[in-house]
Structures are given as C-alpha cells and as structure tokens.
Chain A
Amino acid sequence: DIQMTQSPSTLSASVGDRVTITCRASQSISSWLAWYQQKPGKAPNLLIYKASSLQSGVPSRFSGSGSGTEFTLTISSLQPDDFATYYCQQYDSYPRTFGQGTSLGIK
C-alpha cells in the first residue's frame, strides 16, 4: 500500500496568512493526488485534483503543486471559512489512501 504522510499534523494561523501543507507519498504517484477540506460534522469537499487542478467552485486562493512523491497545498490568504482539516489522497493505485490530516486552527 502507498503511505501518505502530511505535515504538519496541526497548524495555527491567522486570517490573511499564507499557509502551506505538505504531503509525501511512500512511492511515486505521478500527479494522481487530490486535496480535500473537511469541516466538523460535514463530508469532505474536493479542492484540488491531479495535484494542481482547481475543482470547479473552489476559490482561487487554493492551489496545489508537486509530482512524484512530494506535494503541497497552499492557501494564499487565509479566510475565516478556511479553518478546517485538510487531507491529501492518492489515486494512483488501490487501496486508495489518505494522509492523516492537517488540522488548521485559528492562532
């Protein structure tokens, strides 16, 4: 199985900050990576697919980059609605695997 490791696990930031979350795969997954946002009690929401493609309806302050084994999710200017947990997911092979999550809280 491909292991996905996110860092950091928790992050505190302020509105307006630029934030970066890293996701590393245990083997190359090309660009087959997605990022999801999840708020408490809600289903995950797709933000980025194929490592850097913005899902329709997602604000442009979200961006993704990377390929192979190292990927990043960047939020250019944090908004109050962005405080949530973020997960990366590989879809290069089965079983599909997720990172452990990054909880983004208010500083």
Chain B
Amino acid sequence: EVQLVESGGGLVQPGGSLRLSCAASGFSLSAYWMHWVRQAPGKGLVWVSRTNSDGTTYADSVKGRFTISRDDAKNTLYLQMNSLRAEDTAVYYCARDQGDGHAFDYWGLGTLVTVSS
C-alpha cells in the first residue's frame, strides 16, 4: 500500500528555518517524480516544488529560499525552508506524480507550518 507521511512542521519565527520530511512506503521514491503542495488556512492549493532524477523546479514565491531533495536510500523526500515569512504559513503536502510530470495520484496527510512571532 502506498503511503506518504509528512513530518517536521511547527511554529517558527519569521526569518527562521524548518525542514519537512515525507517518508514514503509501498513504492520506491527513486522511480517517481515527487512534489510539494501547500494550502494556507482556508485557502486553495498552491504547488511549491518538484523533483525527479533530472532536476528540480520551484514556484517563484519560494525560489532561492526553499530546497527540495530526496534520500532514495531512506525513501524520504525533504523540503528545506529558509527565510520563512508569514505568508509561508500553510499545511504542506507531499504528493507523488503518477507519471513523468502528470497528475498527483497519492498525497500525504500534510504537516502544518506556522510562521509567526
């Protein structure tokens, strides 16, 4: 059974850093493109970043501040978030791409990041 479990969220001050993890099971992370998507409280879904064997892509709003990476040996996806701002407050989901740049067929439950002083 495919499962994605995020962790690492919490309360952080503006300008601070946080690293999110997404532990995958039931499939090999190395065989799939993976994404991060976020959702601010009461708002819609916003794509953040993706990674595959060929590279990474970021939304303009996080470029230069966030870094997506993966540890295939641990079957875990990461999102390093630096220089956090209040507008980064959201539930962060990791999601599996069903093919090479296609729809997202499995999602984690999400982890809440709150940026506030």
Contact = CB atoms under 8 A, between A and B. Distances in A.
A59 B109 CA distance: 22
B47 A43 contact: no
Interface of A: 32, 34, 36, 38, 42-46, 49-50, 55, 87, 89, 91, 94-101
25 contacts: A32-B102, A34-B103, A36-B104, A43-B107, A43-B110, A44-B37, A44-B93, A46-B98, A46-B104, A49-B98, A49-B102, A49-B103, A87-B44, A89-B103, A89-B104, A91-B102, A91-B103, A94-B50, A95-B47, A95-B59, A95-B60, A97-B47, A98-B45, A101-B44, A101-B45
A33 to B, nearest CB: 8
A39 to B, nearest CB: 12
Interface string B73-89: 00000000000000000
B58 to A, nearest CB: 8
A91 B105 contact: no
Given A43-B110, A94-B57, A95-B60, A87 B45 contact: yes
Interface string B6-45: 0000000000000000000000000000010100000011
Interface of B: 35, 37, 44-47, 50, 57, 59-60, 93, 98, 101-105, 107-110
Given A43-B109, A45-B107, A91-B101, A100 B44 contact: yes
A101 B59 CA distance: 20
